[in-house]
Amino acid sequence: MVAPLDEPLFFELTRPQPLLIVLSGPSGVGKDTVLQALKKRNLPLHFVVTATDRPPRPGEVDGVDYIFVSREEFERMIAADEMLEYAVVYGDYKGVPKAQIRQALASGKDVILRVDVQGAARLRALCPEAVLIFLAPANVQEWYQRLINRHSETPETLQRRIEAVRRELTYLDMFDYVVINRQDHLEQAVDQIVAIIQVEHLRVHPRRITL
Ligand SMILES: Nc1ncnc2c1ncn2[C@@H]1O[C@H](COP(=O)(O)OP(=O)(O)OP(=O)(O)O)[C@@H](O)[C@H]1O
Ligand SMILES: Nc1nc2c(ncn2[C@@H]2O[C@H](COP(=O)(O)O)[C@@H](O)[C@H]2O)c(=O)[nH]1
């Protein structure tokens, strides 16, 4: 006699576990640009809007690019334990609102966010099951030119970002994947990130995020 199928087992197999995907890499490598291109693919992803106390750059929109707050408000959020991770990045506060991530994961969606490399290290410690992707340039000249062409930096902030890159590269081992964002081949980098998400959902032992 054949045993009846075990329904809870099948439920487990077909119910995807949401992923927490962390995109990191040096300043100016193209993290935001890659995420904007990924948004256009209309995948069931929640794109986290992180908070900062730096002023918006021309064209940046509150609630879309960042949640822009005052330094006092940022410090209130830290004191109230509202940040999953926060750091002073190139002189400004940046932080990941905890409630936003929890709500998105609870809805069953994969969650993706970009942070600097120290933020990725902190998230790895807080959430070892997160998927960490290091976005890298094809070579240092391309990366430097990208940062210059963005016209977002003063000589001082540019220097700070250049000094940081050497230290950031020493963290490569902590990441699960590396994706090269080649000059004028943005869609290729996006394809590779989509492939990582797809393959992560094929794991026999899914990553289980607990925050
Ligand atoms: N594949 C690419 N080819 C050409 N230019 C690119 C590519 N990817 C990004 N860029 C350009 O590089 C510049 C930096 O990109 P972006 O601002 O997305 O970097 P970032 O990693 O988010 O930087 P930061 O960490 O400082 O926020 C932008 O001017 C963007 O248009
Ligand atoms: N550790 C964190 N880093 C963050 C967060 N949000 C953004 N960032 C990173 O900061 C730098 C600088 O950003 P910019 O917009 O001022 O150029 C960049 O690498 C971002 O990825 C965060 O919540 N935590």
Q: Whole-prediction pTM value?
A: 0.93
**Cα 100 to Cα 120: distance, rounded to the nearest angstrom:** 17
> Does residue 94 lie within any of the structural domains?
no
Structural domains in the chain (count): 1
Residue 164 confidence (pLDDT):
87
> Does residue 86 lie within any of the structural domains?
no
> Does residue 91 lie within any of the structural domains?
no
**Whose C-alpha lies nearest to ligand 2, atom 21?**
115
Ligand 1 centroid to residue 180 C-alpha, Å: 12
DSSP strand pairing (83-89 vs 131-136): unpaired
Residue 4 confidence (pLDDT):
61
**Cα 16 to Cα 13: distance, rounded to the nearest angstrom:** 8
157 lines ligand 1 (CB under 6 A): no
Residue 26 confidence (pLDDT):
94
Above 0.90 for ipTM, yes or no?
Answer: yes
The answer to whether 29 is annotated as binding is yes
Q: Which two tokens stand for residue 165?
A: 């890159």
**HEC per residue, 91-124:** CEEEEEEHHHHHHHHHCCCEEEEECCHHHHHHHH
Print the domain residue range for 32.
Answer: 7-48+109-200
Find out whether 76 and 90 touch, Cβ atoms under 8 Å.
no
> Does residue 144 lie within any of the structural domains?
yes
CATH value at residue 127: 3.40.50.300
State CA 49 to chain mean position distance: 10
> What DSSP state is assigned to residue 144?
H
**Cα 31 to Cα 14: distance, rounded to the nearest angstrom:** 31
> Does residue 186 lie within any of the structural domains?
yes
Region for residue 63 given its phi and psi (left: phi exceeds 0; alpha: psi -120 to 50; beta: otherwise): left
Which ligand is closest to the CA of 151, given by its number?
1
Residue 78 confidence (pLDDT):
98
The answer to whether 63 is annotated as binding is no
**Cα 134 to Cα 62: distance, rounded to the nearest angstrom:** 26
Which ligand is closest to the CA of 119, given by its number?
2
Residue 154 confidence (pLDDT):
87
**Cα 55 to Cα 142: distance, rounded to the nearest angstrom:** 27
Backbone φ and ψ for 157, nearest 5 degrees, come out as -70, -30
DSSP strand pairing (92-97 vs 110-114): unpaired
> Does residue 180 lie within any of the structural domains?
yes
> Does residue 146 lie within any of the structural domains?
yes
**Closest ligand 2 atom to the C-alpha of 31?**
21
Per-residue model confidence as pLDDT tens for the chain (211 residues): 566 666 666 655 566 799 999 999 999 999 999 999 999 999 999 999 999 999 999 999 999 999 999 999 999 999 999 999 999 998 899 999 999 999 999 999 999 999 999 999 999 999 999 999 999 999 999 998 998 888 888 888 888 888 888 889 899 999 999 999 999 999 999 999 999 999 999 999 999 998 8
**Cα 194 to Cα 129: distance, rounded to the nearest angstrom:** 18
Ligand 2 centroid to residue 89 C-alpha, Å: 6
Q: Which two tokens stand for residue 110?
A: 């994969």
